[in-house]
Amino acid sequence: MIDFGYQINKGRTINLDVDRAPLKELEKVVPSFQSCIRCGSCTATCSAAQFTDFNIRKIHTKFSAGLHDELAEMLKPCMLCGKCTLVCPRGVNLRALVVNLRKILKEKEL
């Protein structure tokens, strides 16, 4: 076979049938979490992201997918200044999200 320099990625499996309880719990205290469209405005305006690779959108996405490892650590750089909440076009209460996410992850020891 001729090698054209391309390759096909090996099939990757993400198990999405994980524990949904943390997600449900967050959605209960921060209902606006569900309206997120992953536009990334929050991350674009973030103060902490100017210094680090802190990425609230990534955290958001990982958490919705049930991928909890290292999330608690990833949340640490947030200074809660609230710019993300003001710019969010969907009205997601991101400050509440960070505070509650920190709490839920601690409670569930994730």
Total residues found in the chain within this entry:
110
Both tokens of residue 14?
């993400």
Torsion of CA 18, 19, 25, 26, to 10 degrees: -30
Interface residue with other proteins among 27, 58, 95, 110 (CB under 8 A) is 95
* Closest distance to other proteins from the beta carbon of 67 (Å): 21
Asked if 110 interacts with other proteins (CB under 8 A), we say no
Q: Does 34 bind other proteins (CB under 8 A)?
A: no
Structure tokens at 1: 């076979």
Yes or no: say if 79 and 105 are a contact pair by the CB < 8 Å rule: no
Pick the stretch among 9-17, 18-26, 49-57, 61-69 that binds other proteins (CB under 8 A).
49-57
Q: Which is nearer to other proteins, 23 or 101 (CB)?
A: 101
Contacts for 21 with CB less than 8 Å, ≥ 6 apart: 108
3-state class (DSSP) for residue 32? helix
Binding site residues, other proteins, CB under 8 A? 31-32, 45, 47-48, 50-52, 76-77, 79-83, 86-87, 91, 93, 95-96, 99-100, 102-103, 106
